[in-house]
Amino acid sequence: MDGGVLVYIIPWGSLKQADPLLTKHCRNLTILKFPEEYFDAFDQVVVVCTKGRPKPSEIKRQSVLIQGAVEAFIDGDFDRLPTTEHAADFPHDVPAAGSMEGFVFRSVRFNPEKCVLKLKKSPVWNRVHHQLFPAGLAKSIRPLTSLREGHLAMLLASGIMNGEVAGSDGRRLVVKGSVVKGVTITSEELEKETRILHTDRYDITVRAICFDPTEIITIKQ
């Protein structure tokens, strides 16, 4: 939010890369060094600033401050900056937070067991059910002869068998296949030259979610 306070902990050597963002989008910029016993281990500094549009004069002042901190790091003059022990000398007013309704923190990593529990409760499951599970007509089609392992792999990877699959042991899987084209490069020595051969290949990957026990199975060919 506008007026919010950023506390940015980064290695001293990263200040230069942060210069454009901090100087042009923040005000009241302050750079504090960690105390010696912590700084020697991680070379970290704390950048504190307030979100807002600074005036040209403040942009210049903040850029000079960052540049001076970068030069201090290069020169080894680590005492040029104040430490976090003097943070009270550089106050930043933190505004009251607004409504947090609808504000959710999410991770990009998923726990399979928690995903299954949430999936069963989610209304999205009903809306995409027909996309995950094959239609009744597709289940009734049978080939004239038994498929070879290569045929089965291609069917899985092509997507025609995407959805729920039940094994002879009663295990239920949700299957998703994919095919990625690649090139294998080989060489062949002839009498007067070396021939380079480029051979197309198709990498097959099949992933399945097993519900009992809960696990994700990946098969690659």
SS (H, E, C) 63-116: HHHHHHHHHHHHHCCHHHCCEHHHHHHCCCCCCCCCCCCCCCCCCCCCCHHHHH
160 has a pLDDT exceeding 70: no
Q: Give the pLDDT confidence score for residue 27 in this predicted structure.
A: 92
Helices (H), the chain: 15-25, 36-42, 56-75, 112-121, 124-127, 129-132, 136-140, 149-158
Would you say the pTM of this structure is higher than 0.85? no
Query: What average pLDDT does this structure show over 188-211?
Result: 83
16 has a pLDDT exceeding 80: yes
Query: What average pLDDT does this structure show over 10-17?
Result: 84
100 has a pLDDT exceeding 90: no
State how far the Cα of 114 lies from the Cα of 122, in Å rounded to an integer.
12
Summarize pLDDT for 120-154 with one digit per residue, the tens: 788 877 777 666 665 555 556 677 788 777 777 77
State how far the Cα of 95 lies from the Cα of 3, in Å rounded to an integer.
7
Region of poorest pLDDT, from 94-108, 131-145, 196-210: 131-145
Q: Give the pLDDT confidence score for residue 29 in this predicted structure.
A: 92
Query: What average pLDDT does this structure show over 213-221?
Result: 77
